[in-house]
């Protein structure tokens, strides 16, 4: 039986997920019916789903769309739907790195910091959400309502009962891997990770 990944807030299955999920059963959960999700649900209500049904949860640039007080609800939901050996892979903007970049380069909120396939990304977009997407969609949900540093995401993951964490940073992004149980070396290798000595 193939492993199962729940893609939380992935918008559409046309948007690629990491290659290490190749061959897995991919269920998309989203609040927006336009992306034709397998599960139409607000991620704050994940505890209403069957417990222990997934080997992994993948959540890319979605967690920042919740208010800070709702983030623990979402993460407890991740923990709820995961099997005992399961893990969550979470990607969020690195606000600590952005603050350093803005200070070091004396940037303004309107300054472009990089070009994305969807267009130029400004300092303001990383903080508050990608303005062109919010305007196009007409959905305030796409606005950012909180932000994360490596320390803050580690803290909220631990408070949400994830015992083993690996945090990686780069390109103004935090990648957090949160495991319910201590991962084995094979599990880490499959994710392209190595435990720090």
Instruction: Convert the pLDDT of each residue in 12-26 to its tens digit.
Output: 999 999 999 999 999
- What's the pLDDT score for residue 197? 40
The pair of structure tokens assigned to 164 is: 């083993």
- What's the pLDDT score for residue 58? 98
In a domain, 195, yes or no: no
- What's the pLDDT score for residue 161? 95
CA 19, chain centre distance (Å)? 16
- What's the pLDDT score for residue 196? 55
Residue numbers of the chain with a pLDDT score lower than 50: 197
Helical residues (DSSP H) of the chain, grouped into ranges: 71-81, 95-105, 123-128, 131-137, 150-159, 185-190
In a domain, 134, yes or no: no
CATH number for the domain spanning 78: value is 3.40.50.150
Instruction: Convert the pLDDT of each residue in 30-45 to its tens digit.
Output: 998 988 999 999 999 9
In a domain, 179, yes or no: yes
Alpha-carbon distance of 192 to 141, in angstroms, equals 32
Flag whether the pTM goes above 0.85. Answer: yes
In a domain, 59, yes or no: yes
End-to-end CA distance of the chain: 34
In a domain, 64, yes or no: yes
- What's the pLDDT score for residue 138? 83
- What's the pLDDT score for residue 156? 98
For 34, which DSSP code? G
- What's the pLDDT score for residue 142? 87
In a domain, 76, yes or no: yes
- What's the pLDDT score for residue 130? 93
Domain count within the chain: 1
In a domain, 25, yes or no: yes
- What's the pLDDT score for residue 137? 82
In a domain, 78, yes or no: yes
Domain of 155, in residue numbers:
4-94+147-190
């Amino acid at each position: 039986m193939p492993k199962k990944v729940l893609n939380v807030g992935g918008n559409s299955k046309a948007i690629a997920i990491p290659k290490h999920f190749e061959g897995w059963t991919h269920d998309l959960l989203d609040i927006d019916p336009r992306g034709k999700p397998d599960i139409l649900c607000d991620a704050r209500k994940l505890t209403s789903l069957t417990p222990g049904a997934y080997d992994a949860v993948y959540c890319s640039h979605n967690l920042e769309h919740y208010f800070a007080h709702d983030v623990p609800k979402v993460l407890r939901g991740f923990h709820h739907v995961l099997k005992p050996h399961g893990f969550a892979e979470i990607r969020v903007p690195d606000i600590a790195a952005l603050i350093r970049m803005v200070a070091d380069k004396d940037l303004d909120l309107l300054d472009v910091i990089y070009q994305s396939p969807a267009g130029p990304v400004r300092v303001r977009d990383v903080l508050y959400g990608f303005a062109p997407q919010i305007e196009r969609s007409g959905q305030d949900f796409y606005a950012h309502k909180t932000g994360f540093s490596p320390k803050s995401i580690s803290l909220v993951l631990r408070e949400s009962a994830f015992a083993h964490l690996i945090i990686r940073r780069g390109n103004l992004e935090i990648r957090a891997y949160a495991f319910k149980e201590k991962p084995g070396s094979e599990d880490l290798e499959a994710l392209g990770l190595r435990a720090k000595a």
